[in-house]
Structures are given as C-alpha cells and as structure tokens.
Chains A and B, each alone.
Chain A
Amino acid sequence: AQRVTQPEKLLSVFKGAPVELKCNYSYSGSPELFWYVQYSRQRLQLLLRHISRESIKGFTADLNKGETSFHLKKPFAQEEDSAMYYCALRYSSASKIIFGSGTRLSIRP
C-alpha cells in the first residue's frame, strides 16, 4: 500500500539555522512527490514538487529513490517559515494525493 511517513510531528529550530523535514514513502512504482504547506489561518498550498526540481522560498527537496525519501531542506530558516508541512505522493497526474501526517515547523527568533 502507498504510504507517506513524516517521523517528526514538531520541529523547532532557531532563525538562521538549517532546516530538514524528513519524509519517507512506500510505493512500488514511480510516484510524483510533493511538499504542501499550510501557514496559520491559510489554506493548504503546494510548496514544491520533485518533477519541477526548483527552489521555492529557499526550500529544496531531492527525491532519493534508493532510500525512498523526499526530505525538505532550507539552509537558513526564517521566522515566516513557521507552518505545517505535509509531504505527499500520487501515482498519476489525475489521481488522488496521499498525504503524510505533517510536521509543524516552528522557527524561534
């Protein structure tokens, strides 16, 4: 069965410190991986996806098929990065998205 695991419910780092939010998935095929973000009192929105191979708001994520991981990284955290982050996958462009349970990132000043 497809599954997305985010082992940390809460990650707290100081402003300016590096950030890494962990994500592992289980899927036998070649899924598409995403990171979604939800800022306080805002709706869920796409942050980035692996096929785009881009950096958004300083965040990057590399798909490691050998380790079945898609960790989200940012070298220098900013206070405005505080939010709920969800790793997710889908197996085709029109299919449902399977979400992890989320990691709350808290940036301390």
Chain B
Amino acid sequence: DTGVSQNPRHKITKRGQNVTFRCDPISEHNRLYWYRQTLGQGPEFLTYFQNEAQLEKSRLLSDRFSAERPKGSFSTLEIQRTEQGDSAMYLCASSGGLAVAKNIQYFGAGTRLSVL
C-alpha cells in the first residue's frame, strides 16, 4: 500500500494516560497535515508541516498536544494526560510530489482514540 499509513488503527486508553500516534505520508510528499474528526462532524485541522517545519497550529491544539516530524518523513502526534473529550478519529493527510496532483491532500485511514 503506497498511500498514507497511520498506526495504530485503534487506541483505547484511560483518562490521564499519554498516547502517541504515527503517520507515514506518501513517500514523495513534503507536506503533512493532522486533522481530528468527532462524531457527526467533518475533519477539523490541527497542524501542518512542510518538510520538518511545523508551519501552522490550530487553537484546537492545546498544550497537551504536540506533533513532530523530525526528518521530514513520518510524523507523530502525542496527547498527554488524555481527557474523555479527546476521544475522536485522528486523521493524517499528505500532499506534494508530482505536478499534476501535488496540491491534493491524500488521507490516511485514521487512528480512532477512545479515552475511558
């Protein structure tokens, strides 16, 4: 599968625990995005990287959330001291590469987080 890959697919954790998700973008893509989707809503933007630089962060991204893309390839999203309100689907998307489709964002299957 050469698409955007996210791991794990599902994560169940207890309130107060830390969790980390990983996203592997399409290999030639230099832009990587994180979104969060709650039930009945469309995806909401969290943060965006161009190569290793984090260029934009949503105010939704509280100080308990941190994202990294250390080598400009895969990215991690960490949530510290999880709360029940963090339960959602976390989506990763990437774009870049060939000229024809370079600005299209391709989405991964997501990581579903359940905080008990």
Between A and B, 5 residue pairs with Cβ closer than 8 Å are: A45-B107, A46-B106, A95-B48, A100-B42, A102-B40
B108 at the interface (CB under 8 A from A): yes
Residues of A within 8 A of B (CB): 4, 9, 43-46, 49, 86, 88, 93-102
Size bracket of the B interface: 20 to 34
Chain B positions within 8 Å of A100 at CB level = 42
Residues B87-107 near A (CB distance < 8 A):
91, 93, 95, 103-107
Contact B41 A102 (CB under 8 A): yes
Residue from B105, B108, B109 within 8 A of A97 (CB atoms): B105
Closest B residue by C-beta to A102: B42
B44 at the interface (CB under 8 A from A): yes
Which 10 residue pairs of A and B lie closest in terms of their CB atoms, listed nearest first? A99-B42, A96-B45, A93-B103, A44-B107, A43-B109, A86-B42, A99-B43, A101-B42, A43-B107, A102-B42
A70 to B25, CA, bound (A): 29
Cβ distance A25 to chain B, nearest Cβ, rounded Å: 13
When A93-B103, A96-B33, A96-B48 are in contact, do A43 and B41 touch as well, CB less than 8 Å?
no
Chain A positions within 8 Å of B50 at CB level = 94
When A94-B50, A96-B48 are in contact, do A44 and B43 touch as well, CB less than 8 Å?
yes
B56 at the interface (CB under 8 A from A): yes
A96 to B95, CA, bound (A): 11
B50, B93, B103: residue with the most chain A Cβ atoms closer than 10 Å: B103
